[in-house]
Structure 1
């Protein structure tokens, strides 16, 4: 799977999107995320693993606690892909024939 495909797949799940949105605002511990989303810590950890493989979050350990924050790398790959799509659309539009001039 492509890098942007991994990112899209990771964000396709609503729980992972919710986790990512919270982590965009500030760093949080796994337990804080579990309480906020009302799901188990193992479920949060599993979702965070998917987000980490997509390079959307990074982990920091402090003693026994695991803290996560958003990482821009995965989104940068997705942005590059979307910009290339947009460039293709604009190029196709620029090459499309325009309206025919009206005869007087």
Structure 2
């Protein structure tokens, strides 16, 4: 988790996260806490990030290095709808 926090901290201090309308994080599968993590968990990083930015932080989206993944458009204009525990991403002619 400290590596993820380090990268997010760099984006935060560079002003990148302040320009985002949402931050979407994946599932982070197949990682193990290292001894130097000393119990510091990824959820702690997410909780911290939510206190630092105004944009919603969505977690557990199945993309990246997972068996079943969603398609995410790169460089496209999208609409994001969050309803309770569900997040819907629209692009193309739907919006």
Relative to the length of structure 2, the TM-score reads: 0.28
Structure number with higher helix proportion: 1
Relative to the length of structure 1, the TM-score reads: 0.26
User: Which entry has the higher C-alpha Rg, 1 or 2?
Assistant: 1
